[in-house]
Structure 1
């Protein structure tokens, strides 16, 4: 029987963040991280499928354009996109809650950008932004916790990247999954 393991990780202080080293592409000016300030269901769906296609991300595939737009226009939701020489390389999506908690709801790189140090850099950038969300909305308290979850279907370095950035595991769940048809 196959099993899916999910790790939930958190930081409870900005001092927990252990930033990754900047890749050479940042110094060269070819790698930039830009906030997608105009909510665009098409952009977020593209990023979600481009990053998650090989990782079996499926929960948002059924979302209508209206559902994407409703999520993206909520106060506290931000999408940050990494571009390498103008080409989308990855993204991090932040979902700030009213209680001072920020979830990194999605994060990852497109397959062609793996192995260049972009993942640690983008996660560091996004996590720093999550800690800096206080004051953006009048009702929002200062960030007191940033959390994320990853699972055994995500990339082989995902859990290690989160831990290297200072995230600590606070919960682990394992559940049986259907056998993969290709392994039968």
Structure 2
């Protein structure tokens, strides 16, 4: 079998997206005490939400919620089947985001999961995932799923697998580079080279 190379146009980025799922409720695991805590945001304002989304996601080129129309984003944020949590540090500063989407019957998507870069690699991700799974597996939920991509922290895929998720599919996604469209500052995500200008 021969390999194939697919050209990526100047001004675009390519990423490999991996979809993962759990079909069995995991046994509760003891969690180390954490100085962090979760705070439920009920229907947060768009600006407040996007500010935290940026703080957590800009280093990994998260931008889908930044370019989404305000009314479309507001529909998600106010949907009772979508639960949004801010992660707070001991001073009450928002340092992470957890978003659970129950809009598909019997399923929970961990739509967004992340901490600011200063907190990664310190074991807080395991604590946050423990919180996420405890909140996700309830009621009639039979499937919890999440996706990650090669633009994310390179440890993300291994982390999800270590937490008990199983990879179920892979896709290649081509996107306009948000640093070249002005959505995200050009100095973000230096691990992803800037190539060309948008056509």
Using structure 2 for the length normalisation, give the TM-score: 0.75
When residues 175 and 44 of structure 1 are mapped into structure 2, their CA distance, relative to the original with a 3 A threshold, is: closer
More helix by share: 1
1:138 maps to which residue? none
Structure 1 residue 72 corresponds to structure 2 residue 77: yes
2:101 maps to which residue? 95
Partner-residue secondary structure (3-state), 1:7: strand
Kept after mapping to 2: 8 A contact 1:13/1:144? yes
Structure 1 residue 116 corresponds to structure 2 residue 116: no
Using structure 1 for the length normalisation, give the TM-score: 0.81
Kept after mapping to 1: 8 A contact 2:39/2:87? yes
Task: Tell me the distance in 2 between the aligned counterparts of 1:68 and 1:183.
Answer: 30
- Following superposition, the deviation at residue 77 of structure 1 comes to 0.3
For the aligned residue pairs, the C-alpha RMSD in angstroms reads: 2.5
Partner-residue secondary structure (3-state), 1:14: coil
Partner-residue secondary structure (3-state), 1:143: coil
Partner-residue secondary structure (3-state), 1:42: helix
Between Structure 1 and Structure 2, whose CA radius of gyration is higher? Answer: 2
Give unmatched runs, 5+ long, in structure 2: 1-6, 9-13, 178-191
- Following superposition, the deviation at residue 42 of structure 1 comes to 2.2
- Following superposition, the deviation at residue 55 of structure 1 comes to 0.8
1:139 maps to which residue? none
Per-residue CA deviations over 1:2-53 (Å, capped at 9, x if unaligned) read 65211100011212x675742x5x2xxx321121134322222112111111
Structure 1 residue 45 corresponds to structure 2 residue 43: no
When structure 1 is superposed on structure 2, of 151-160 and 115-124 the one drifting more is 115-124
2:157 maps to which residue? 159
Give unmatched runs, 5+ long, in structure 1: 135-141
Kept after mapping to 1: 8 A contact 2:21/2:145? yes
Task: Tell me the distance in 2 between the aligned counterparts of 1:42 and 1:175.
Answer: 27
Runs of 4 or more consecutive aligned structure 1 residues displaced over 6 Å after TM superposition:
176-180
Kept after mapping to 2: 8 A contact 1:95/1:103? yes
Kept after mapping to 2: 8 A contact 1:92/1:123? no
When residues 178 and 95 of structure 1 are mapped into structure 2, their CA distance, relative to the original with a 3 A threshold, is: closer
- Following superposition, the deviation at residue 120 of structure 1 comes to 1.7
Aligned residues: 170
Task: Tell me the distance in 1 between the aligned counterparts of 2:29 and 2:168.
Answer: 20
